[in-house]
Amino acid sequence: MRYSAQIKPISYLKAHAAEVLGELREKREPMVITQNGEAKAVIQDVATFEQTQETLALLKLLALASQDIAAGKTRRARAIVDELRSKAAAR
């Protein structure tokens, strides 16, 4: 994804806020906002932000699982199933 077409100065954002929000929602691509010629912020629509957060959470879970595997913190699936069944039978 190229961001070069999605770079706008803060003055553009101020003057066209509603249009920018519509464009963000429609294109679902982030927009880089500059101030004095320097990139200062990135804005995106809420749906894309939420999707990104969910993706990051899943990646974090995978990283934690990989660390557990590397540390030998694993159990056989059969042992876990047997444990759950015995707990359910005790109820």
Sorted by where each starts, the structural domains of the chain and their CATH numbers stand as 4-44 (3.40.1620.10), 47-90 (no CATH)
pLDDT tier at 5, thresholds 50, 70, 90: confident
Q: Which of 47, 20, 49 is nearest to 32 (CA)?
A: 20
Tokens standing for residue 59: 């990646």
Tokens standing for residue 63: 């990283």
For the chain, percent of residues with pLDDT exceeding 90: 91
pLDDT, one tens digit per residue, over 20-46 is 999 999 999 999 999 999 999 999 999
Give CA torsion, residues 26, 27, 32, 37, to 10 deg. Answer: -90
